[in-house]
Structure 1
Amino acid sequence: MRKQADLKKFSVREYVQQQQSRFTGSFFIADQDTYKDNQEQFPFRTFAYSVGLFGACRTGRMQIGSAAFDIGSGCLSTIGPGIVCEWHIHCEGDHDTVFFNDDFFNDDARSAWLRTLPFFLPGGNHVIIPDDGKMEQLRSLFITLRQFREDKNVLTGILYSILMVVAACHDSAAAQSITSFSVHEKVTRHFRELLSVHFLQEKSVAFYAHQLQLSPKYLSEILQAVTGKSAKTMILDHTLMEARTLLRQTEMSIQEISSWLGYEDYSYFTKAFKKKEGITPMAYRKL
């Protein structure tokens, strides 16, 4: 990216998609062997939709946006394009993931529907544990998907069926969360959704507290109780996670990254990054 580029018109998602060389075409299936050879050691921005099934595997942990998820046997993961993720502990064992792009279905109605599914959006509930019946349905569909992986006409129908089952799993999880989630947990989830949308422009706790109709102090107390972090810390962590992936996945200058993230003072961004990560942005880029 050139230094004179207009950052207001710059799309990180489009830029990363252009730079991405691992994923060609609009469809790809990965298994545990794929992950052994491609373990990201830094935050990375997703460039496609993905649906993952985890069978018998050792427990791992993944940061997806501002939320950390435990991943292990029986989990279903759903992540949309443009979301920053980071493995904290790699999940080793039996798991399969299907990746696909917006244009895979070649159908405007289905593509539009795909973009509305909340579990693919930033701040969504990206990891759930479906009931055994639904997991068995998904495993069977994944087996069939592999069998017809060379036939695009059949693939689209199978993948659409997978997404319908996944949507049903999330509907069930959402219905359960209405009664099982505490008020504080619901506030935390809503805060994360707001943060994923507004963090570039809004970094004050007061803004998010106003959106949630809470006082800044009470919001921080809730987040501290649920996550162990204050609102201010969560905002900073989310912003710097974005910075780390931009440093690794793009050629944007550090000044451009600072400006993109909403920091008018470049030196303030550099100091905040070094305080959190222990090294400067330039040193992090060279790792």
Structure 2
Amino acid sequence: MGEEFQIRTYKEFNDYYAAANTPLRSKHHEFNVLRFCDLGEALVPSMGPFSITYFQVAIGSDLKAAVGVFDIREEIEEYTMVIYLPGQILSWEKTGNWDGYVANFKESFLNLESMPQQMNSFSFLHSVQPLVVPLSKKEYKLLSQFFEVMLLEQEELEEENILVIRNLLQVMIVYINRIVTKVKSDGRFVALQYQRIATKFKGLVLDHFLQDRSVAFYATLLEISPAYLSDAVKKVFQTTPKNIINEITYLHAKTLLSSTDLGIKELAWKLSFDDYSHFVKFFKKMSGLTPAAFRKTLKKEG
């Protein structure tokens, strides 16, 4: 059995910046805005797999890169928005010029409770799948104005500047939600209480799927019945809580199979399967392939 593989989780912006080998450092622990052109020439060419505990929104008029969320990898070039969310397994590779902006911010800074009817309904904040969204030139210009004002306010971190940045982020998220909803074509109204429960459930699964994969466990955390949880998830995501738990577990399994050389028995143990055969059956049910066969297809493609 080889060395234990651990996906690095970045909780602080400056730890992430240090790993990326950029001289930039954040002066505030809950938010930071930057221009790609300020990252420096020594920036590492790629990072990942890794995870973050905060939100990262990047927009670029020129953004040649390969970005990954779990095992899904997308090639992007220009007028694109990339949203990385807490709990996702991420990667990126710089394949050309980058011109644009990045905002890093923690959920605590957003102060979502100050506008619950709006913010809690934005399901993109709790997405599992990649959020790589094409932008029109008009949309890019609009969003870039938010970034420029936040950069200006960031120069001085007095209480008033921080308030302005928080308010700008909240408004920018409203615009981002409109763009994501339009692209993803799933903007129909869902009862607010169902939306709150379903999105919180998905976040809890990302945090605890290695600990417990039963629907009852998450219903207990949410202080509701399993039946009510199932109803909320079905109305919001058109699937079942168990399917979401399985999807997240499966995405992590695929990522580990593709990004590490862990033995399959060790991988099953890391994913909290009590028996190797149970993991093999689970993976085959989800993908149609055994873990070993899936890994072989990756080698052939490579």
Name the TM-score, length of structure 1 as normaliser. 0.57
Letter aligned with residue 166 of structure 1: I
Q: Distance in 2 between matches of 1:74 and 1:124?
A: 20
* Other-structure match for 2:234: none
2:295 paired with 1:276:
yes
Corresponding residue for residue 64 of structure 1: 69
Name the CA distance, whole Å, in 2 between partners of 1:242 and 1:78.
22
Kindly state the Cα deviation for residue 122 of structure 1 after the two structures are TM-superposed: 3.5
Residue 15 of structure 2 is aligned to residue 22 of structure 1: yes
Equivalent residue in structure 2 for 1:143, among 148, 157, 180: 148
Contact 1:45 1:245 in 2 (8 A): no
SS at match of 1:146: helix
Residue 170 of structure 1 deviates from its aligned partner by 1.4
Task: Describe the shift of the 1:56–1:98 C-alpha distance in structure 2 as closer, same or farther (beyond 3 A).
Answer: same
How do 1:6-17 and structure 2 match up within 5 A?
16=9
Partners of 2:83 and 2:129 in 1: CA distance: 9
Q: Which residue of 2 aligns with 1:47?
A: 53
Is residue 131 of structure 1 aligned with residue 124 of structure 2?
A: no
Distance in 2, matches of 1:158 and 1:98, equals 11
SS class of match (1:42): strand
Structure 2: gaps spanning 5 or more residues:
1-5, 17-27, 189-201, 215-237, 241-247, 280-289, 297-302
- The aligned amino acid for 1:276 is R
Task: Assess if the C-alpha contact under 8 Å between 1:119 and 1:125 holds in 2.
Answer: no
Counterpart CA distance in 1 for 2:172 and 2:239 is: 35
Structure 1 contact 118–124 (Cα < 8 Å) conserved = no
Q: Secondary structure at the match of 2:173?
A: helix
Distance 1:117 1:177 in 2: 10
C-alpha separation in 2, matches of 1:140 and 1:168: 17
Task: Say if 1:79 and 1:119, in contact at 8 Å, map to a contact too.
Answer: no
After TM superposition, give the deviation of residue 242 of structure 1 in Å.
Answer: 4.7
One-letter amino acid of the structure 2 residue matched with residue 239 of structure 1: A
* Separation in structure 2 between the aligned mates of residue 274 and residue 66 of structure 1, nearest angstrom: 16
Name the CA distance, whole Å, in 2 between partners of 1:273 and 1:97.
38
- How many Å separate the matches in 2 of 1:107 and 1:50? 16
Moved more, 26-35 or 259-268: 259-268
Distance 1:64 1:275, change over 3 A: closer
Is 1:79 equivalent to 2:79 in the alignment? no
Letter matched to residue 163 of structure 2 = N
Using the TM superposition, give the Cα deviation of residue 40 of structure 1 relative to its aligned residue in structure 2, in angstroms: 4.3
For residues 190-219 of structure 1, give each alpha carbon's deviation from its aligned partner in whole angstroms, at most 9, with x where no partner exists. Answer: xxx9xx9798659xxxxxxxx979xxxxxx
In structure 1, how many angstroms separate the alpha carbons of the residues matched to 2:86 and 2:169?
A: 17
Task: Work out the CA distance in 2 between the residues paired with 1:70 and 1:177.
Answer: 26
**What SS is found at the alignment partner of 1:264?**
coil
Corresponding residue for 1:174?
184
| Equivalent-residue separation in structure 1 for 2:66 and 2:113 (angstroms) | 35
Q: Which has the higher contact order (CA 8 A, sep 6+)?
A: 1
1:147, CA displacement in angstroms?
Answer: 0.5
Q: What secondary structure sits across from 1:92 in the alignment? A: strand
- Whichever residue aligns with residue 48 of structure 1, its letter is Y
Query: Structure 2 vs 1, CA of residues 139 and 19 (structure 1 numbering), >3 Å: closer, same or farther?
Result: closer
Indicate the structure with greater strand content: 2
Percent same amino acid among aligned pairs?
Answer: 15
Corresponding residue pairs, total: 216
Give me the whole-angstrom Cα distance separating, in 1, the residues matched to 2:278 and 2:136. 48
Residue from 242, 246, 255 that aligns with 1:241 = 255
The Cα offsets for residues 128-165 of structure 1, whole Å up to 9 and x where unpaired, read as: 11222222110111111100113201111111121111
By how many angstroms is 1:127 displaced?
1.0
Q: Does the 8 A contact of 2:34 with 2:151 survive in 1?
A: no
The structure-2 alpha-carbon separation of the partners of 1:125 and 1:20, relative to structure 1 and needing over 3 Å to count, comes to closer
Alignment-mate amino acid for residue 25 of structure 1: H
Tell me the distance in 2 between the aligned counterparts of 1:148 and 1:77.
23
